[in-house]
């Protein structure tokens, strides 16, 4: 009976990983015809875009049909009144292939903003330069280039080959897309995150605690983006650890208390986001306590 339950639990954790990762991939770039490539950046600090400042980047697209360059911005959590001028040209040439103005009120905090332009059919293995210029950015109204990786992502249009049968074409396209996504480093990290509860369950030892801790450290120190389901995955890994090691529910009670003290301190300094985060932790600790008590009572 217990083995059956364990298998069921493992299957559920596996399904969670598949669904969560599927949702992540879909939210990142849902179109099958668009392939992506992340470009490494050296900057570790956010760079402000103030009036007159021009940021220049150079990229080497690995594929043909370059049509979008997405850049990750910070908006300081508000709507900023500025216009960003985006322009792109092939390196070594004098004329710009495309130039466009973009109002910054459409930029989302810590999200990639796509700058689209007419497709460049023969873009593979050439060098391109693009610039971002602020039209009227001030100290109080400006956007910033984010430091969360990847900062620059290029996108390419690669539709299905019309000569093949349509089903084969779709399969090939899907495989091509998956290979393309997995070749980018930011797609690998979420894979670890979403399947970490399953790994913790399989290891079934106190050492497995290192997994969620390592993931949290990696996310913090390597400046990686926080994918959807990040909190729920870490919590699920933590819960799996508590249940598999038959830890006392009092651990969760103590953590709840710590979260509540953190909540009091954050609300005292009027940090709304901090208080929100603390109350979420408190809530999740209470939830975990409930699950622990109930599962223990059934053991």
Partner 1 sequence: MNFINKVIPSFPLLLIAAVFIFPLLRPGLIVGGDWTFPSSNKELQVFGQRAFSIWGRLEIPSGTQISHNNLYPVQILARLWAGIGLSGVSFQKSTLFLTIIGIYVFSYRLFVKLTKSKFASIVGALSYLFSPIVFNYLNMGWNYVLLFLALAPLFVQIGLDYFEDGKSRHIIALGLLAAISFFQSQSIIWLPLIFICIFVSQTTRENLSKSILKLMLASVGIGLIVTIVHLPWLLLIVLHPNNILVSTSSVDLKRFSEVLSISDLLRLWGSLYNREFELAFPLSLSPFSYSPIIICIIAPLFSHLKNKLTTYLLMLLLVIIAPTLFINREFIAHIPLSTIIRDISRFLVITSLGVSLGIALALSVIRNKIFRVVICIMLIISASPFFLGRLYTLTGNPTPQAEEYRDFRAALLSIPEIENEPATKSIADKTNVFLPTAGFVFTRADHRFNREYWAVADVQSNFSPVASGIYFSEKSDFLVSNFALNYLTLSSNIDNLTTFFGVFGVDNLLYRSGLESTYKSTLDRDGILKRCQPFLPQGNSDWSITSLCLIKDAYPLIYSSITPQYSNESFTKLLPEFVNLKVRTVVLGCPEKLKEKSSICNIEKISDLAKTIPTLSITKISETKYRVGVENIKGKFILVLNQTYHPGWIIQNRSGERQDYPHVLVNHLVNGWVVDPATNQEKEDYIITFYPQVIYSRLLPISLISLLAMVVYLTHQSKQKNEG
- Applying CB under 8 A, the residues found at the interface with partner 1 are 249-250, 253-254, 256-257, 260-261, 263-264, 267-268, 272, 275-276, 278-280, 282-283, 286-287, 289-290, 293-294, 297-298
The residues that bridge with 58 in the sheet, in sequence order, are: 129
**53 phi and psi angles, rounded to 5 deg:** -75, 135
Cα distance between residue 280 and residue 37, in whole Å = 35
DSSP character at residue 159: P
The minimum distance between CB 243 and partner 1, in angstroms, equals 15
The minimum distance between CB 238 and partner 1, in angstroms, equals 17
The minimum distance between CB 296 and partner 1, in angstroms, equals 9
Q: Which is nearer to partner 1, 60 or 232 (CB)?
A: 232
Q: Which is nearer to partner 1, 246 or 276 (CB)?
A: 276
Q: Which is nearer to partner 1, 143 or 275 (CB)?
A: 275
Cα distance between residue 88 and residue 123, in whole Å = 12
Q: Which is nearer to partner 1, 153 or 239 (CB)?
A: 239
Cα distance between residue 138 and residue 50, in whole Å = 6
DSSP letters for 22-42: HHHHHHH---TTEEEEEE---
Q: Which is nearer to partner 1, 147 or 267 (CB)?
A: 267
The minimum distance between CB 274 and partner 1, in angstroms, equals 9
The minimum distance between CB 93 and partner 1, in angstroms, equals 48
CB environment 224-246: b (16+ within 10 A), e (fewer) = bbebebbeebbbbbbbbbbbbee
| 262 Cβ contact list (under 8 Å, min separation 6) | 274, 278, 281
Between the CA of residue 80 and those of 13, 102, 271, what are the distances in Å? 41, 12, 22
The minimum distance between CB 289 and partner 1, in angstroms, equals 6
Cα distance between residue 169 and residue 160, in whole Å = 6
| 92 Cβ contact list (under 8 Å, min separation 6) | 127
The minimum distance between CB 64 and partner 1, in angstroms, equals 41
């Amino acid at each position: 009976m217990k083995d059956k339950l364990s298998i069921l639990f493992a299957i559920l954790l596996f399904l969670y990983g598949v669904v969560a990762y599927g949702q992540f991939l879909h939210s990142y770039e849902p179109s099958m015809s668009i392939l992506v490539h992340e470009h490494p950046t050296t900057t570790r600090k956010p760079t402000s875009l103030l009036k007159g400042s021009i940021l220049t980047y150079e990229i080497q697209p690995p594929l043909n049909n370059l049509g979008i360059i997405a850049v990750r911005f910070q908006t300081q959590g508000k709507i900023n009144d500025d216009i960003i001028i985006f322009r792109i040209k092939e390196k070594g040439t004098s004329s710009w292939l495309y130039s466009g103005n973009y109002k910054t009120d459409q930029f989302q905090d810590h999200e990639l903003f796509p700058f689209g332009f007419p497709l460049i059919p023969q873009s593979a293995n050439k060098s391109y330069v693009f610039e971002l210029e602020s039209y009227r950015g001030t100290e109080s109204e400006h956007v910033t280039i984010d430091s969360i990786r990847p900062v620059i992502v290029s996108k390419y249009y690669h539709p299905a080959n019309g000569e093949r049968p349509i089903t084969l074409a779709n399969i090939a396209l899907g495989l091509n897309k998956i290979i393309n996504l997995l070749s980018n480093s930011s797609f690998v990290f979420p894979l670890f995150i979403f399947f970490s509860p399953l790994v913790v369950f399989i290891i079934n030892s106190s050492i497995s605690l290192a997994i969620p801790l390592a993931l949290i450290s990696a996310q913090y120190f390597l400046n990686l983006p926080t994918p959807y389901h990040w909190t729920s995955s870490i919590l699920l890994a933590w819960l799996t650890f508590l249940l598999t090691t038959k830890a006392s529910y009092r651990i969760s009670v103590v953590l709840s208390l710590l979260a509540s003290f953190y909540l009091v301190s954050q609300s005292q300094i009027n940090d709304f986001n901090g208080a929100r985060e603390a109350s979420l932790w408190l809530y999740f600790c209470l939830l975990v306590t409930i699950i622990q008590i109930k599962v223990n009572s059934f053991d």
